[in-house]
Amino acid sequence: MSILGTRVVRNEDPELLTKGGTYTDDLIDERLDGAAHLIFVRSPVAHARILSIDTSEALKLPGVVAVYTAADVDLPIINPPMPMFNQDMTQTPLASDKVRYVGEPVAIVVCDDPYIREDAAELVEVEYDILPAVIGMPNAAKDEVLLWESVGTNTVVDFGTPDDLDPNLFDDCEVVVSHLIQNQRIHPAPMESRSGAASWPEGERLTAWIPSQGAQGAKAALAAQLGIDAAEVHVLTPDVGGAFGARFGADVEMVLTAWVAGKLHRPMRWSETRYENLLAMTHGRAQEQRVTIGGSRDGNMKKYRLEVLADCGAYPKIGGILPSLTRLMTPGTYVFDKAESIAKAVVTNTTPIGAYRGAGRPEATAAIERAVDIFAAEIGMDPADVRRKNLVPKFTEPHLTAFGALYDSGDYETALNKALEAANYEDLRKEQQLRRERGDAKQLGIGMSSYVEITGAGSESGDPNENATVEVHPDGTVTILTGTSPHGQGHATAWAMMASDTLGIGIDKITVIHGDTDLIPKGGGTGGSRSLQQGGMAVQKASIELVDIARTRAAELLEANEADLQFNIDDSGFSVAGVPSSTVTLAKLAEKERLFINAVFAAPGATFPFGAHLAVVEVDVETGKATLERIFCVDDAGVVMNPLLFDGQRHGGIAQGAAQAFLEEFIYDEDGNPLTASFADYPFLSATEVPSFDLVSMVTPTTYNPMGVKGVGEAGTIGATPAVQNAVVDAVSHLGVRHIDMPTSPRVVWEAIEAARSNSNSNGKVA
Amino acid sequence: MIPAPFDYVRATSAEHILELMAQHGDEAKLLAGGHSLLPMMKVRLASPTVLIDIASVPELSYVKVDGDDLVIGATTSHATVANSDLIQADAPLLSYAAAQIGDPQIRHRGTIGGSLAHSDPAADLPMTLVALDGTFELLGPSGTRSVKAEDFFIGYFETALEHDEIISAVRVPRRPGVGWGYEKFTRRANDWAIVGIATVAGRVAMANMGSIPARPVATEQALAGGQGIAEAAALAADGIEPAGDMHATTAYRQHLARVLTRRALETAASRNQA
Amino acid sequence: MQVQITVNKKPRTDEVEPRQLLVHYLRDTAGLKATNVGCDTTSCGACTVLLDGVSVKSCTVLTAQADGGTVVTVEGLGGTADGGQMHPVQSAFREEHGLQCGFCTPGMVMASVGLLSENPNPTEHEVREGLEGNYCRCTGYHNILRAVLLAAQSPDAGKPEAQVSA
Ligand SMILES: Cc1cc2nc3c(=O)[nH]c(=O)nc-3n(C[C@H](O)[C@H](O)[C@H](O)COP(=O)(O)OP(=O)(O)OC[C@H]3O[C@@H](n4cnc5c(N)ncnc54)[C@H](O)[C@@H]3O)c2cc1C
Ligand code: FES
Ligand code: FES
């Protein structure tokens, strides 16, 4: 029986459980012997001109090795990463003339002893001339206060303009509803804060340890930002304590760690506090959306418009491109006569926005799924019925949307029906009705979402491909080199399973190596749920090709015809048909000559996993507190390779999705001061805020790879968020509430109930 | 994050604590469980130059019966208060409240005396001791004096403790079978109260409804005057103007106070066997 | 100042700064790197170890406070000094996939051992409450809960020295 598709516990766990991972801060490596420790002095203000920096007191503290400011740093300017962005919004590695967000690095202090870092940083005196802060996307779009006066605008990029919108779009609609929706700013919050280490002895290459989602991309970014040839850089990826999209490339702190290591020719270590992490690791989401949806009273949705205003934070990063992904997924799983979308991205005096689990797609799903519910409420129809009426019918041949997305395969209605069935939807509605009639304090809310998303869109080169090297050793062990970069996903187990299935060698004999740019020069890393469908497929392809090479060698050795050779998976070797004694194993074949191959798997395109979630919440209408009771999730990401890992990815995503709907928000006051810069204030979800999750299986294979797999890493944050949000609104919809922005915290829910009550009272109705 | 440098001394007896306090004066701070002080020192909101560790002074950690009272030593941990059979039997409100603090690790370290001395208006124990009509024993160079819980809390992080005094013990009346109610409103189970209510025997105290544990006088009077729970609870925010913050506006806190007071009083009534 | 602490059954005597946090003593002085730091505010539990038999957040305990005490880290479970042997809780975490990136794991495992030592047969709800001071970003807690419930089937899962029979 094939190991693929079975539940296999992880190879990486014994080490992680008994000795702990080797995260960057844990590294013991002779290249780092005698390392000094960096700390960054960060801006305490959101927007200001730097008048002066006095480093003299810090330099006097025993144990301080050096202090650097922008004037000392001879590195290239950092340009906005996409050509379509406003290219004048440039950044210097350390703030030079201006600071543009709280947490921006202003100076570097280098210390012998990590215990004096904070003492020393406190001694650097920076004088600021405070400027008004630009907080909130609509404010930024007004261009009244500018982050770059010389640029003349706060707009980073426009994807379409209001002129592109059809003024008659909704003319044929009986019902048109429109709402402003906040997709709030959140923090990726991996449990490991950022850190880095670098060794750059005089006349030698730079070695940099970067906890990233892809060493090869980090290497390219590091070389570019240091202004050196990539051949001069060796990047290693230690264990990574979670990433969630926020660890691609090389952050300025890492670039500067390497720069100081080169300047002082002394190894450097950097690790940040959680406070710094919350301020300076890229944030996610942060869109303000206007949705307008029109159709007929019998539930036919005809037209949809999505207008997005996206926050880039203080410097345009990957966050500027995410609204284009949101646009791409505008219509979700539905058929519209016409849908249209425009987006604008602006800078504000806040932490830069980057990718966060789902990166642009959750925002699209959140918008359309709220819009559908608002439409359903307007016409008084069950939201499940409205959805069923308008879903794209099942398709097996790729389906091209008006926005240019080519959905590979899908059956959205079955997914929705499975979720409804698993939840006993009709019974839930009855229970809800009973509670409403009784006027219970705890009302029931039922919310659903139907989603489709994009996975495996790109790689290092932009094309959906990945490489792997597989080698069988004479002792019967196997080494796999992969261009993907796991940080919790379990590739050491999964890729071993892929190879084992083809080579007939046990997974305990297979070692998977990633994150070393000398050993593995090419690789697209792990993100966008690409790993299995490209990296895993590359391992399979390499394994198959390896058996082919081995066959040729075996034929020679056994003096037989290749066609007469049989590969016996149980023995990991060949035998000659009809001559049972004539056999040779792969390991044996590796004795004479190394037996290895590198293969690239190229997919024809991105895949579009889909699913439906149904959340059941209780809302205490007296206090506004909502709690998640159950969540039923159908996530169809094609064929399942290892259900243990597959479901683990779903669980984590569902929790993060629910956390966005209920709790999480990174908040600034109007002056740009962060109010949630610690784990005491940033409401990280704990075990008490979630139930166990009800996972429902559904498998619709893709034809884009031999196994039929798609990506599942982001399903949870795409499907769960709107389901939970819709459920909270649904719980209080009988009180006249139509929409509640996320996070649906108790105060917000209570205020929505109060507003609806006073509204209906002033309309002469009784609440 | 790490604290600024300081010296550390471990006290061996109550007397030794007083000596060390006299010796080091205002520069020194007492360290009990350290779960309010050390977090503040790590972010450098506090930088004492000497810490006097009182956690292992044997005579400050105990739970005992003294006539009509229960007496609890100052360095008794939240976990011990939560799990003590004596307290569960005679002052169940107190053990329940202690079990609501933070998380298990915090309850293993944090102490009753430390929490009360810290006087955080959002904390669980200050309002609980006010509701219980507890008394604190304050030990100073001239001996021990007793202060009623409701007179002890003066303002945000401010108490009736003199600079040379420590809390040595906490005294609460034994009331087996008397109904009690406790409502801690949080976003997450491990959070501090957005609003908290503790009630027993017709007394009500509230957390995070001002700079000290608030007493809804109008509610208590209404109850004493024989009014129903709903009517009395509707008065719970009368004359009380808590500050607004990220989690709650003033109006929302007042609303929560009314709802939670009603619920706490209802629970207390349903539990009453006395 | 000088401290004497027994770490994973080995008595040690070390010279430390009074302000040193126990987590840094374990990581830097004793060289046991499994225990992690995930926050500044005593919120996340990544640093959880057993001190004198109960779970504590070692980022909020001074090494000085632990003087004379006994510490067990995840490396010391299963009766070893520095990892290698599986304890029932560790083995249950593997079996139920209660870890992904592994960063929260040492603290989560120690909090679980502490929980089971106080409550050997917890309900689902008690496990969730018992782990409320330990954050995990990867697992959604679903499988952590299952792991602790599975471990609870082993009678001595609350004892740090318990071993899984091979
Ligand atoms: C993450 C986190 C969450 C928390 N959540 C809650 C919560 O939900 N509810 C809650 O109520 N508390 C909460 N706490 C606080 C916790 O209860 C603390 O343990 C308590 O507030 C302080 O007790 P301690 O023994 O740790 O005091 P320490 O931190 O040692 O001392 C606190 C202050 O009191 C002084 N002091 C200590 N003992 C005495 C004494 N005997 N006499 C005079 N002065 C003394 C100290 O000098 C110091 O100024 C939380 C703490 C943390 C870190
Ligand atoms: S590091 Fe100790 S609780 Fe977060
Ligand atoms: S396994 Fe990654 S934080 Fe828990």
A152-175: pLDDT as tens digits? 999 999 999 999 999 999 999 999
| φ/ψ bin of B25: left (φ > 0), alpha (ψ from -120 to 50), beta (otherwise) | left
Whether residue A630 lies within 8 A of chain C, CB to CB, comes out as no
pLDDT single digits (tens) B176-223: 999 999 999 999 999 999 999 999 999 999 999 999 999 999 999 999
Which CATH class for the C2-76 domain? Answer: alpha beta
Q: E-strand spans in A47-112?
A: 48-54, 64-69, 98-99, 105-111
Q: Which atom of ligand 2 is nearest to the CA of B105?
A: 3
pLDDT of A765 > 60? The answer is no
Q: Tell me which of A59-73, A471-485, A576-590, A645-659 is least confident.
A: A576-590
Spatial distance between the Cα atoms of B258 and B252, rounded to a whole number of angstroms: 10
- Residues B145-151: contacts with CB within 8 Å, 24+ apart? B146/B171, B149/B213, B150/B213, B150/B215
Report pLDDT for A459: 66
DSSP code at position C25: I
Spatial distance between the Cα atoms of A367 and A376, rounded to a whole number of angstroms: 14
**CATH number for the domain running over A284-455+606-763:** 3.30.365.10
Spatial distance between the Cα atoms of B133 and B127, rounded to a whole number of angstroms: 10
Q: Which of B206, B202, B201 is nearest to B175 (CA)?
A: B201
Q: Which ligand is nearest to the CA of B1?
A: 2
CA of A465 to the centre of ligand 3 (A): 28
Report pLDDT for C82: 74
Report pLDDT for A402: 87
At A761, is the pLDDT very low, low, confident or very high (cuts 50, 70, 90)?
confident
- pTM, entire model: 0.97
Q: Answer for the pair A188, A283: CB distance below 8 angstroms, yes or no.
A: yes
pLDDT single digits (tens) C95-149: 999 999 999 999 999 999 999 999 999 999 999 999 999 999 999 999 999 999 9
For the purposes of burial, counting CB atoms within 10 Å of the CB of B140, is it exposed (0-12), middle (13-18) or buried (19 or more)?
middle
How many beta-carbon pairs under 8 angstroms link B with C? Answer: 83
In chain B, what are the domains? 7-53 (3.30.43.10), 58-173 (3.30.465.10), 180-273 (3.30.390.50)
CATH of A465-602 given 3.30.365.10, 3.40.50.410, 3.90.1150.10, 3.40.50.1110: 3.30.365.10
Q: How many CB atoms lie within 10 A of CB A762?
A: 8
Whether residue C100 lies within 8 A of chain A, CB to CB, comes out as yes
Report pLDDT for A61: 97
Report pLDDT for A767: 35
- State the amino acid at position C114 in one-letter form: G
pLDDT of B77 > 90? The answer is yes
Among C19, C55, C67, the residue with its CB nearest the CB of B3 is C19
pLDDT of C166 > 80? The answer is no
Task: Please give the average per-residue pLDDT across A110-121, as a whole number.
Answer: 96
How many helices and strands, by DSSP H and E, does chain A display?
18, 28
Nearest residue in B to A746, CA atom = B187
pLDDT single digits (tens) A305-339: 999 999 999 999 999 999 999 999 999 999 999 99
pLDDT single digits (tens) A180-225: 999 999 999 999 999 999 999 999 999 999 999 999 999 999 999 9
Task: Please give the average per-residue pLDDT across A490-502, as a whole number.
Answer: 97
Asked if B259 lies within 8 A of A273 by C-beta distance, the reply is no
Written as six digits, the tokens of A710 are 């798609």
| Chain length of chain B | 274
The second-level CATH assignment, the architecture, of C80-151 is: Orthogonal Bundle (1.10)
CA of B247, closest CA in chain A: separation in Å? 7
CB-based contacts of B24: which residues, under 8 Å, 6+ apart? B50, B52
Window 163-222 of B: residues touching C by CB (8 A cutoff) are 188-190
Report pLDDT for A759: 83
| Fold equal for A36-131 and A284-455+606-763 | no
Spatial distance between the Cα atoms of B152 and A20, rounded to a whole number of angstroms: 47
Report pLDDT for A515: 98
What percentage of chain A exceeds 90 in pLDDT?
95
DSSP code at position B46: -
Nearest residue in C to A115, CA atom = C20
pLDDT single digits (tens) A395-420: 988 889 989 899 999 999 999 999 99
pLDDT of A764 > 60? The answer is no
Task: Find where tokens 């709903």 sit.
Answer: B230
What average pLDDT does the structure give for chain A? 96
The second-level CATH assignment, the architecture, of A36-131 is: Alpha-Beta Complex (3.90)
| Fold equal for C2-76 and C80-151 | no
Of B6, B13, B17, B30, the residue with max ligand 1 atoms within 8 A of its CB, to mutate for a pocket test, comes to B30
Distances (CA, A) of A286 to A306, A360, B112, B162: 15, 10, 42, 50
Sequence spans of domains, chain A: 36-131, 284-455+606-763, 465-602
Task: Please give the average per-residue pLDDT across A470-480, as a whole number.
Answer: 98
pLDDT single digits (tens) A424-444: 999 999 999 999 999 999 999
Q: How far is CA A83 from the centre of its chain?
A: 23
Q: Which ligand is nearest to the CA of B185?
A: 1
Say yes or no: CB of residue C137 within 6 Å of ligand 3: yes
Whether residue C145 lies within 8 A of chain A, CB to CB, comes out as yes
Spatial distance between the Cα atoms of A175 and A184, rounded to a whole number of angstroms: 28
Report pLDDT for A766: 40
pLDDT single digits (tens) A695-716: 999 999 999 999 999 999 999 9
Contacts of C65 in chain B (CB under 8 A): 31, 34, 53, 55
Asked if A655 lies within 8 A of C139 by C-beta distance, the reply is yes
Sequence spans of domains, chain C: 2-76, 80-151
